[in-house]
Structure 1
Amino acid sequence: MPGLPDADPAEIGFDSERLARIGPAMQRYIDDGKVPNLVTLVARHGKVAWFDARGHLDIDQETPADDNTLFRMYSNTKPITGAAIMILAQEGKLTPDDSIGRYLPAYKNMRVQSAEPGVTERATRGITIRDCLTNTTGFASPATAPLAWRAHYKDVFEKLGWTGKGDSAATVRQRVDAQACLPLAHQPGTVFGYHMGFMAAGAVIEEVSGQSLETFFRERIFDPLGMDATGFYVREGQEANLGACYAPREVDGEMRLHRTETGAESEKVTGPRTFFAAGGDRCGVVSTIGDYTRFGQMLLNGGELDGARILSRKAVEYMVSNHTPGLDIPMTGPGFGWGLGVSVRTGDGGFPLLRSIGSYGWGGAAGTTYFGDPKEGIVAACFTQLLNAGGMPNNDYQGEFQRLVYYALDD
């Protein structure tokens, strides 16, 4: 089994027959042309009860997906960034409540757009590292920035790649510095605005550690955990394991899979190997389902796996606690908050869910998702390579996978 030792499902509290329903359920999404592949893994108490790989890396070449398949993780990079920050926190090198301006001088004395167009006011406080990891920085996004900014901050928009004319050639650090030139859309800590602070969080990690984000992740997380296939770029000799990426496209009145890039032409293979973005920009890290499950199991174990101590138990507890009480989070709806790089199930409002209160996890833009459930001892992951998966009608493979995992519990 990939990632962790395996066990008979019945020995760790699963009904084998019910758990096996995951396979044909996932196959239906592949057969219906909803996704190119689905690789699923369910572990409990540190042992794998279910692993299954279906579909193809590239549907035109029919190369089967397997346990070595690499995935563009996009925002599944965010939990790794949360763990990296907590490594530095437990070493006393920073705290989540530090202003990022302490490490990134461009972010000192930020101003906030007022209700009157063209008028700004001083921020009531600095943007903190916590704000970056909980999506509460107050930064505007390309979709929410006032139209007048496009002319007034034309050079900044170009450097950030916000012009709609393709991505920018700017480095991550150049983008971080450019973002500081824009006013905030909201006072820090007051409004949920997804993703916009993670590049700055990555820059803080680099400043404090004196290492590139790639080196820090590799030396402090990936290598100790034996995540031998994970990194911001595909490792030498593993190029054939990265498949194509797809997106829905309407053809003759039907939504069909459209290949956006092959594995061979991906920047993750061709380089240049210089773009290390903590929030998952430009695909984030690449990983196998086994590697990523090892990271998830480390968190579930309280910061340790197979003798490698990455975080203290209290550091993990802090990371996966809800840091946004009372804040409206539209993208998850009621019943969820945000920890440091992870979404957290709080149970406050909304309909009941099978997932336990206190469970946590997140997903990525190309269809990857993972969750950890401390109450049930479960780590589960479901991976594919489909951008905007929700744009494909009736494509609830993630929800069905999660439901089948919980329905299979038998203790």
Structure 2
Amino acid sequence: MYSDLNFIILGKILEQVSGQDLSIFLREEIFAPLGMRETGFLLKVKRDNFVKTEITKERGQVWGNVHDETAWQMGGLAGHAGLFSTLDDLARFSSFYLTTASPLVAGLFDYDCFERTLAWIRWQKGRRFLWHSGFTGPGLGLDLENGRALVILASSVYPKRGNEAWLLARRQAANTFFGGGYREEKQEYIVDKCKPCCKIVFAKVTDVNEEEGNERRLPDFRRGMAGYAGRLDPGPGK
């Protein structure tokens, strides 16, 4: 059964232990040290900077606010949802995982419980592959064996949820990036049926180990998905 309660509770624990608002704690302990200046909760920026999500009866056009209903009822600040970011910031976040010698990251691969470790899906058993996706369409893949990251920022719930074709297209993008299906599954994906309403900002695949100008590119997934190749930032603030 899918549940957000674990991360909701984790967010509350962090607030109690630190004595700080969750948004302040994460900004000071994670985002600022990594140079993620465009990441946070309840961002005070122009609405045009956000991608539109769902049109609902209760809230109308959800745009610039958290889409998740539970997080919205919690005021937009929760441990499981409500965090906004950009392609560049997520490249910095990914770069940390790919280059750090922290035992906290290395220790993620000590666990494979129900095909998962802390906060991540283990894409293939025994491999240093991590995957995380969001309900509204985004995805983040990390290949620690080859120093590569895949960042997908998308809004597949505009104007309404239920875009099954996008989920298949996203899975194919991940399959291409990791060089194999989830848990070695064998399944055909049809991406030509991806609905035009699927709005993707960027799909970015980078390789921090390759020579300049020799980045590996994702294939063009036709409708609703753009491929962009570029190098990860060398580090925070660079």
Report the equivalent of 1:339: 117
Question: Which amino acid letter does the alignment assign opposite residue 244 of structure 1?
Answer: K
The CA deviation at 1:217 is 0.6
Q: Is the 8 A contact 2:11 2:79 kept in 1?
A: yes
Select 2:8's aligned residue among 199, 208, 219: 199
Q: Considering only CA atoms, is the larger Rg found in Structure 1 or Structure 2?
A: 1
Supply the distance in 1 between the matched residues of 2:161 and 2:53 (Cα, whole angstroms): 15
Q: For 2:12, what is the secondary structure of its paired residue? A: helix
Select 2:132's aligned residue among 349, 359, 362: 362
Report the equivalent of 2:42: 233
Question: Which amino acid letter does the alignment assign opposite residue 206 of structure 1?
Answer: E
Summarize deviations over 1:327-349 as a string: whole Å, max 9, x none.
4xxxxxxxxx221111123427x
Q: Is the 8 A contact 1:245 1:261 kept in 2?
A: yes
Select 1:397's aligned residue among 150, 169, 172: 169
Supply the distance in 2 between the matched residues of 1:345 and 1:404 (Cα, whole angstroms): 12
Q: Is the 8 A contact 1:320 1:360 kept in 2?
A: no
Supply the distance in 2 between the matched residues of 1:398 and 1:287 (Cα, whole angstroms): 19
* Counterpart check, 1:386 vs 2:156: yes
Supply the distance in 2 between the matched residues of 1:194 and 1:300 (Cα, whole angstroms): 28
Q: For 2:33, what is the secondary structure of its paired residue? A: coil
Supply the distance in 2 between the matched residues of 1:276 and 1:376 (Cα, whole angstroms): 35
Q: Is the 8 A contact 2:54 2:161 kept in 1?
A: no
The CA deviation at 1:322 is 2.1
Q: How does 1:277-288 map to 2 (within 5 A)?
A: 277-280=78-81, 284-288=82-86
| TM-aligned CA distance change 1:386 to 1:374, over 3 Å | same
The CA deviation at 1:263 is 2.5
Query: TM-score, structure 2 length as denominator?
Result: 0.62
Report the equivalent of 2:146: 376
Supply the distance in 1 between the matched residues of 2:20 and 2:102 (Cα, whole angstroms): 25
The ranges of structure 1 where at least 4 consecutive aligned residues each deviate by more than 6 angstroms after the TM superposition are none
Supply the distance in 1 between the matched residues of 2:15 and 2:61 (Cα, whole angstroms): 30
Select 2:105's aligned residue among 316, 321, 327: 316
Q: How does 1:238-317 map to 2 (within 5 A)?
A: 238-246=46-54, 261-263=61-63, 266=65, 274-280=75-81, 284-302=82-100, 313-317=102-106
How many residue pairs align between the two structures? 174
Question: Which amino acid letter does the alignment assign opposite residue 233 of structure 1?
Answer: L
Summarize deviations over 1:299-331 as a string: whole Å, max 9, x none.
1212xxxxxxxxx6111112354251xx4xxxx
Q: Is the 8 A contact 1:214 1:232 kept in 2?
A: yes
Q: For 2:54, what is the secondary structure of its paired residue? A: strand
Q: How does 1:55-204 map to 2 (within 5 A)?
A: 193-204=2-13
Supply the distance in 2 between the matched residues of 1:275 and 1:263 (Cα, whole angstroms): 13
Supply the distance in 2 between the matched residues of 1:202 and 1:394 (Cα, whole angstroms): 33
The CA deviation at 1:194 is 3.4
| TM-aligned CA distance change 1:394 to 1:345, over 3 Å | closer
- List runs of 5+ in structure 2 lacking aligned partners: 180-214, 218-238
Q: Is the 8 A contact 2:108 2:117 kept in 1?
A: yes
Supply the distance in 1 between the matched residues of 2:53 and 2:60 (Cα, whole angstroms): 6
- Which structure has the higher relative contact order (CA within 8 Å, separation 6+)? 1
RMSD between aligned residues: 3.4
Question: Which amino acid letter does the alignment assign opposite residue 54 of structure 2?
Answer: Y
The CA deviation at 1:402 is 2.5
Summarize deviations over 1:100-125 as a string: whole Å, max 9, x none.
xxxxxxxxxxxxxxxxxxxxxxxxxx
Q: For 2:132, what is the secondary structure of its paired residue? A: strand
Query: TM-score, structure 1 length as denominator?
Result: 0.37
Summarize deviations over 1:178-224 as a string: whole Å, max 9, x none.
xxxxxxxxxxxxxx653221111111111111111101110111112
Question: Which amino acid letter does the alignment assign opposite residue 228 of structure 1?
Answer: R
Identity across aligned pairs (percent)?
21
Q: For 1:375, what is the secondary structure of its paired residue? A: coil
